[in-house]
Amino acid sequence: MMLLQDKVIVLSGVGPGLGRALGEEAARMGADLVLVSRTEKRLERMAETVRDLGRRALVVATDITDEDSRARLVESALAEFGKVDCLINNAFGIPPMDPITTLSLEALRAAQETNVFAPLRLSALFADALAASSGSIVNINSCVLYSSQPEFSGYKLSKGALQHLSSSLATELGPRGIRVNSVAPSYIYEDVNKAYFEWIASESGRTHDEVYAEKAEPTDLKRLATPDEIARATLFLASDLASAVTGQVLNVDCGEFHS
């Protein structure tokens, strides 16, 4: 379905797993992409995929934690396409997985810079363009929001702040016609988590399938979502089908958490 025909989407955090799925699925739905990460080689590979699908791609190597770099991104995107219809803040950083009272402030600040301050500044810098297109912002959050496990607390701190930021942006930017929503995946069954499950299996004397079953057990569907499934839910929020949806967190977790 060409839900995003001729829309221009700025996608930060282009990489393996969800970042790649977001780029591919957006192109399949008819969007042109502004591809953003620090690694130009990775961006070029993604751009080739987008172009193979018949869409345009602009590569902008960007440090999203640097204000000058962010400003150059906005300038480059508008110079190339003349408009922006959606900003997807997908880049993220995870502090050490230790109890929060044991973490250094430097580690916590680094996660906040990527997970909170970068989405805030990118949203502010793209706001005029998004207002002109009656566009939207989608922030990729996490079901870590609902976790109280000590090892996730540093990550939850930044993702909780991102949730509050998204709500505030929805209220502030709504009068300008800009929608702001969030997507919260749980475990995504992709390469990083597959490797993590392998490590758990080796450490605990179990098989990969047994670890997978343990992680999937809390879900209603008894399985984990794939990157493509997360991407399609995200891109629904970027489409005109969601034209009256703003200020929401959409859990994409196969029914693990119910609001």
Can you read off the two tokens belonging to residue 140?
């990729």
Can you read off the two tokens belonging to residue 256?
């693990």
Given 146, 155, 187, 212, the catalytic residue = 155
β-partners of residue 136 are: 86, 179
Q: Three-class SS string for the chain?
A: CCCCCCCEEEEECCCCCHHHHHHHHHHHCCCEEEEEECCHHHHHHHHHHHHHCCCCEEEEECCCCCHHHHHHHHHHHHHHHCCCCEEEECCCCCCCCCCHHHCCHHHHHHHHHHHHHHHHHHHHHHHHHHHHCCCEEEEECCHHHHCCCHHHHHHHHHHHHHHHHHHHHHHHHHHHCCEEEEEEECCECCHHHHHHHHHHHHHHCCCHHHHHHHHHCCCCCCCCECHHHHHHHHHHHHCHHHCCCCCCEEEECCCCCCC
Can you read off the two tokens belonging to residue 105?
């402030």
Polymer length in residues for the chain = 259
Let me know if 155 is a catalytic residue.
yes
Task: Point out the residues that are catalytic.
Answer: 155
